[in-house]
Amino acid sequence: MRGILITFEGIDGSGKSTIAAELAQRIAEEERPPFAGRRFLFTAEPTDGDEGRMIREKLKRESRMAEGQGSGAREAEQLEELFLFMADHARHLAETVIPALERGMVVISDRYSDSRVAYQGATLRGVIPRPMEWVKELHRPWCIVPDKTILFSIDPSLAVKRCQSRQEECASSQMPKGPEKFEREEFLREVARNFELIVKEEPERFVAIDATRGKAEILEETMTALAELLSETKSKV
């Protein structure tokens, strides 16, 4: 019997990961319907598994190696990145998402296959014809369509400022000082457009939340949206 799969999506800097962490705590303390009596699993992509760690290391390395690479080398790196993300997604499904759904749980994933379509669709533009459609087809045999997806919408310029602020907070860490590939405004603007195209294809699956506001307001709206989604989406447990 299947539970419910809800995904959180949005460009880097939208604050969705912060909201997911806050939600996990709020829901654990919630004693009212439709939260009470349900079992929740909060998870994320990329995962903390081997593939997820390889992805993070690769992205850090890529930001340092981008200059001086020939076009062929860059294209190979971009394809490698996609397939690492896909391998991580496949393991996430097999080891985390599917078992939890089979136990009737509500699975909330911070990023999922839509991120691959939006981000890799931008990364592979000019490398693969119609990259968004290609990435989506590659995922089709290895994916479960979410019951609902909450999209945290924010202007890329504000998102980049948030990312830069986050880097300043981590100035004493070993993270690279320059913006990571996924935190550059021009790139994020294209990713945001790709998310818009995905929503147009499946508008009934998405709930949009304005992520430009303060954390408390966004958290309350997300809680309200989740309550409505859980009330509408009946678990088949």
83-141: per-residue pLDDT in tens?
999 999 999 999 999 999 999 999 999 999 999 999 999 999 989 999 999 999 999 99
In this prediction, residue 181 carries a pLDDT of 63
- Please report, for the chain, the start and end positions of each structural domain, with discontinuous segments joined by +: 4-232
Average pLDDT over residues 176-194: 77
Average pLDDT over residues 38-43: 97
In this prediction, residue 232 carries a pLDDT of 85
In this prediction, residue 178 carries a pLDDT of 46
Q: Interhelix angle for 215-232 vs 16-29, to 10°?
A: 60
Mean pLDDT of the chain: 88
Q: What is the pTM of this model?
A: 0.89
Question: Domain 4-232 falls in which CATH fold?
Answer: Rossmann fold (3.40.50)
Q: Residue 205: what residue type?
A: R
Q: Residue 47: what residue type?
A: T
How far apart CA 193 and CA 117 sit, in angstroms, is: 11
The torsion region of residue 118 among left (phi > 0), alpha (psi -120 to 50) and beta comes to alpha
Q: Which residue has the higher pLDDT, 60 or 52?
A: 52
Q: In 111-220, at which residue ranges do the beta strands (DSSP E only) sit?
A: 148-153, 206-210
